[in-house]
Amino acid sequence: MKKIILTLKKEPALPIEAETITPENFAGRTLDEIKKLIVWRGKRKEELGDYFKVEGEKSEEVSETHIILKGDLSKVKYIGKQMATGKITVKGNAGMHLADEMRGGEIVVEGNVSDWSATEFRNGILRIKGNVGNMFASAYPGNPRGMRGGIIVIEGKAGNSLARKMRRGTIIVYDSVGDNLAAQMIAGTVISLGNIGNRPGMLMKRGTIICFGKIQEMLPTFIYDNTYSPLFIRYYFKELREKLNIRVPVKVEGLYERYHGDVSELGKGEIFIYKG
Amino acid sequence: MKSRMIIKNGYVYDPINKINGEKMDIYIENGKIVEEFTGNSTEIINAEGKTVMPGGVDIHSHIAGKLNSARVFRPEDHRTDPVPKTSVTRSGVGYSLPSTFVTGYRYSAMGYTTVFEPAVTPLEAKHAHEELIDTPMIDKGIFVCVGNNYFVLKYIKEGEYEKLKHFIAWLLKTVKGYSLKVVNPGGQETWKWGKNVNNLDDKVKGYDITPRDIVTNLTKVNEELNFPHTNHVHCNNLGSPGNYEVTLETMKAVEGIKPKKGRKNVLHIAHSQFNSYAGENWGNFSSGAAEIAEYLNKHGHITTCIGQVIFTNTTTITSDGPWQYRLYLLTKNKWAGADTELETSGGIVPYIFKKKNPVNTIQWAIGLELMLLTKEPWKVFIGTDHPNGGPFTFYPLIIAWLMSRKAREEMIQKVHKVVHSRTQLASIDREYSLFEVAVCTRAGTAKALGLSEKGHLGVGADADVAIYNLNPEKLDRGNYNEIIKAFSRAAYTIKDGEVVVKDGEVVKEVYGKTYWTNFQYTEDEELREDLEKVFRDYYTVSLSNFEVPLTYLPNNKPIKIEVK
């Protein structure tokens, strides 16, 4: 892969909207042309070169483009918006709306990610080494569907309203998850290795939530079924490990409590709580 | 504004004055069309090789009133269509529920200069006028929903015809409305008990009357009060298979009513596409457009707008509460419902019309069938019942479908195959001429609305002119994209003698007039007592706060009507 390295010169005073940072926009452009790409500061048009030092080599193929961002980018929004292929690595924190409506490719963030990221995520792989904010992988207000596919691995904590209105795909959180996880979920899978906050699966129709820690408060609209060892969970983790090389650091063999709900909706959702 | 202008050498289409594509000059002075003037003009517009028409007049487009609730309800609709500000225009958002300013700009860019909001609840009239204040570029007016009003039903039940007349005159004057609108007569009242009326002779719950009584009485009142526009009816059973029979019944019910002096028609059927369905259920759903068109061809007392369906993601908003609830059950989409005190109900449901859906395909075909099978364009007008069938910005596409058989055939290839078996659209050869397009988008609608100074370019008319980049002598119907382009972006739109749009871009922001009917009558004591009592006991606003003061209509044009 051809690497293009962007180093933040200094942290912007106001957040900037850098939706031009995608492999699609960088491929086929020389470094000078990349510097001229537009970023928005409020209503003002500015150039990428005003904020970043651009190095590396020109890439012709979108899928062969690897963008590396260095510095604390917590005030840089919309990195990788609607990207479909290629790779972005953020060596540091990333701002709001990272991987907005992402359609494919891969993004790796080594720091933390702010709120409203991976919104309406469609496909691809997103790996975050740090924590993520609220409304992660959720739907924009009014839209009937949130995340629609792809795989997200969060190695830190996740905030509130994770995976709201999720339709398809997998989210794995290594640490704890906040309140209102997977509210109005239509389908999909969310796995948390840590604790889960209040009311997970509120108004969910279908879908699976697997918890290896404790759930702070379950809704009364979830009904306890039984405690057993579901085979599919072991297969699920095996598949992740062998096909996608995602090694989840947890022991999955054992008994799980199964609840189904939300019975005020369709009631085909399920919550598994690991009991050892 | 007080300038003089000449539009030179354009091909003029002015159906009211029987001008069909003649090359001529139009003279404008002080915002009006004049015969000719001598001396200098400040502006000369060269319309060589272009089509010149009167400014477009839309008879039925929801641009104020309930719209704000729908805007709040659908943030996802705005996110996809932001409109940045320019040096002249304000910013906003668009698509199926454009913000007020964007509504004005987009209409103007298409060469439209007059638009009527067809369903305002009396209690919401203040709000509707507030929205219209902020709708630039166009002249406007509101129709007031009366078909399920407590007073109307009560006076019909009691046989108090004179009181009904007085009430209508009082109401329209009080809320500054232009015309009457009847939505699902009796159905919304019955909906308060969770039921609906299905045909003209069902009983309205709580009143011993039928929808037939409501329609005929209000149509009679409309004619006797000399309203400029006819009664504007959204029929019962809208959106249900087999409802074309109710539509025919409604049209037959008003056959005997004597029209006011100077016109032949007594009833306008709104968005008739949604009311021209045959079949008994969604399985054998088919087109009933031929029956409706046949009736329209034989009779002269009806006008209609089609409410064409566009394959897009749109929002349905109507006062027809029971229908919106049914649509919600059909689509499982989100739904907002309302019951406005003693007046009407309402509902909002987002809807996506899909090409591969057989019902949507038939709906699409019905709209075009109505346009193409009705021989006279003076009876049937273009519209999408914005935003119910699709946003108004798709009018140019409808014009292209009407003008070009090739455009229709290409669309037929893309839609569900039921278009061949359950509609006759594929077998219709007719193609609209530019003259006919001018009728069904401006001349016909202006005439139906009773606007004498709109929809034509004769002496004394308002100087609202649209100039399109379309050369009638080189018109190539096969290349229909040119037609769409021309009608989407007018070369010039002239409003009251000023150029407001050039090459599809707004170059000047102007604010139009609001029309309303100002009835002159002597007050009826008994009616006043009734009003005071009902407002005191049941309304959430007092009678004195119910009136829309003229400060809500900064630029208004009253139409004075004497009532004996």
The 10s digit of each residue's pLDDT in A147-197 is 999 999 999 999 999 999 999 999 999 999 999 999 999 999 999 999 999
Q: How far apart are CA B21 and CA A40, in angstroms?
A: 49
Q: Where do the H-state alpha helices sit in chain A?
A: 23-26, 31-35, 48-51, 231-244
Note the pLDDT of residue B94. 86
d(CA B340, CA B32): 42
Tokens of A219: 């809704």
State the pLDDT at residue A191.
Answer: 95
Express as a percent the part of chain A with pLDDT over 90.
Answer: 92
- pLDDT over threshold 60, residue B523: yes
* pLDDT band at residue B2 under the 50/70/90 scheme: low
Residues A56/A35, Cβ–Cβ less than 8 Å:
no
CA distance A131 to A139: 19
Is residue B38 predicted with pLDDT exceeding 80? no
pLDDT band of residue B261 (cuts 50, 70, 90) is: confident
Whether ipTM exceeds 0.85: no
Angle, helices B289-298 vs B244-253, to 10°: value is: 20
CB B74 to CB A141 under 8 A?
Answer: no
What is the Cα–Cα distance from B423 to B387, expressed in whole angstroms?
A: 24
Determine contact, residues B435/B11, Cβ cutoff 8 Å: no
Q: Is B430 exposed, middle or buried (0-12, 13-18, 19+ CB in 10 A)?
A: exposed
Q: How far is B334 from chain A (nearest CA, A)?
A: 9
B57's CB contacts (< 8 A; 6+ apart) are: B112, B113, B114, B115, B441, B442, B445, B446, B449, B451, B454, B455
Q: Would the pLDDT of B430 be above 80?
A: yes
Please judge whether A140 and B333 are an interchain contact, meaning their C-beta atoms are less than 8 angstroms apart.
no
Question: How many beta-carbon pairs below 8 A join chains A and B?
Answer: 14
Look-up of token digits 């599809």: B504
A21-42: burial string, b at 16+ Cβ within 10 Å, e else = bbbbbbbebeeeebbebebbbe
pLDDT value of position A43: 84
Which ranges in B374-450 belong to alpha helices (H)? Answer: 395-403, 405-414, 418-421, 434-438, 444-449
CB contact at 8 A, B57 and B445? yes
Tell me which chain A residues have a C-beta less than 8 angstroms from the C-beta of B76: 140-143
Whether B73 sits inside 8 A of A142 (CB atoms) is yes
- Whether the per-residue pLDDT at B140 is higher than 80: the answer is yes
Query: Has residue B147 got a pLDDT over 60?
Result: yes
Q: Is the pLDDT of residue B552 over 50?
A: yes
Are B113 and B495 within 8 A, CB to CB?
A: yes
Strands B498-502, B492-495: parallel, antiparallel or unpaired by DSSP? antiparallel
Residues of B within 8 A of A120 (CB-CB) are none
DSSP-derived secondary structure for B145-204: E-TT-HHHHHHHHHT-HHHHHHHHHHHHHHHT--EEEEESTTHHHHHTTT----STTSPP
Distance CA B83, CA B99 (A): 10
DSSP conformational letter for B552: G
Selected for mutation to probe chain A from B76, B96, B331, B348 (highest A CB count within 10 Å) is: B76
- Cross-strand bridge partners of residue A125: A106, A151
* Distance set, CA B1 to CA A169, B447, B501 (Å): 61, 26, 15
CA distance B74 to chain A (A): 6
C-alpha B150/C-alpha B158 separation (Å) is 12
Q: How far is CA A25 from the centre of its chain?
A: 22
Nearest CA in chain A to B84: A43
As a whole number, mean pLDDT of residues B68-82 equals 90
CA closest to A143 among chain B residues: B76
One DSSP character per residue, B451-488 reads: -TTSS--STTSB--EEEES--GGG--SS-HHHHHHHHH
**A142 and chain B: CB distance < 8 Å anywhere?**
yes
| Mutation for B interface: A143, A165, A203, most B CBs within 10 A | A143
Give the position of tokens 């566009």.
B310
pLDDT at residue A1 in the model: 87
Q: Which stretches in chain A have pLDDT values below 50? A: none
Shortest Cα distance from A144 to chain B (angstroms)?
A: 8
- Answer whether A142 sits within 8 Å of B333, measured CB to CB: no
The residue of chain A nearest to residue B332, with distances taken between CA atoms, is A144
Provide the pairing of β-strand B514-520 with B505-506.
unpaired
| CB-CB under 8 Å, B77 with A143 | no
Give the pLDDT score at B259.
92
**Whether B311 contacts chain A with CB within 8 A:** no
Q: A140 and B75 in contact by Cβ < 8 A? A: yes
> Which chain A residues contact residue B333 at CB under 8 A?
144
CA B177 to chain centre: 14
Asked if B77 reaches chain A (Cβ–Cβ under 8 Å), the answer is: yes
Residue A269 CA to residue B513 CA, distance in Å, equals 56
Paired tokens of B411: 């669309």
SS3 content of chain A, % helix, strand, coil (to 5): 10, 35, 55
For chain A, what is the radius of gyration of the CA atoms? 20
Dihedral sign (CA B413, B416, B419, B425): negative
Is any Cβ of chain B less than 8 angstroms from the Cβ of A143?
Answer: yes
CA atoms within 13 A on the CB side of B239: 16
- Asked if A141's CB is within 8 angstroms of B77's CB, the reply is no
Mean pLDDT of all residues in chain B?
93
- Asked if A42 has any chain B CB less than 8 Å from its own CB, the reply is no
Q: Which helix (H) or strand (E) holds B52?
A: strand B51-54
* Residue B115: strand pairing partners: B58, B140
Report yes or no: A266 at the B interface, CB cutoff 8 Å: no
Mean pLDDT of B291-320: 94
- Does A30 lie at the interface with B, CB-CB under 8 angstroms? no
Read off the tokens for B431: 């193609």
Asked if the C-beta of B262 comes within 8 angstroms of chain A's C-beta atoms, the answer is: no
- A140 closest CB neighbour out of B73, B79, B333: B79
Name the nearest CA neighbour of B364 among B279, B306, B305: B306
Q: What pLDDT does residue B1 have? A: 46
Which residues does chain B have within 8 Å of residue A142's beta carbon, measured at their own beta carbons? 73-77, 79
Q: Do A143 and B334 touch (CB under 8 A)?
A: no
Q: Provide the CA A110 distance to its chain's centre, in angstroms.
A: 13
Q: Residues, chain B, total?
A: 564
User: Residues 54 to 73 of B: which have CB under 8 A from any A CB?
Assistant: 73
Determine the Cα–Cα distance for residues A249 and B220; give it in Å rounded to an integer: 80
User: Looking up tokens 């400014």, which residue turns up?
Assistant: B55
Decide if B73 and A140 are in contact by the 8 Å CB cutoff: no
DSSP string, B274-332: GG-EESSSSSS-EE-HHHHHHHHHH-SSEEEE-----SSEEEEEES-HHHHHHHHHHH-
Surface of B (322-351) touching A: CB under 8 A: 333-334
Token duo for residue A14: 């106001």
Angle at alpha carbon of residue B133, lines to B130 and B138, rounded to 5°: 135
Please give the structure tokens belonging to residue A205.
Answer: 């129709």
- Residue B90, class by beta-carbon neighbours within 10 Å (0-12 exposed, 13-18 middle, 19+ buried)? middle
Average pLDDT over residues B453-467: 94
Which residues from A are below 8 Å from B74, CB to CB? 142
* Domain boundaries of chain A, sorted by first residue: 1-106, 115-276
Nearest Cα of chain B lies from the Cα of A260 at a distance, in angstroms, of: 22
How would DSSP label each residue in B10-25? EEEEEGGGTEEEEEEE
Q: How many CA atoms lie within 13 A of B345 on its CB side?
A: 23
B-contacting residues of A 8-27, CB under 8 Å?
none
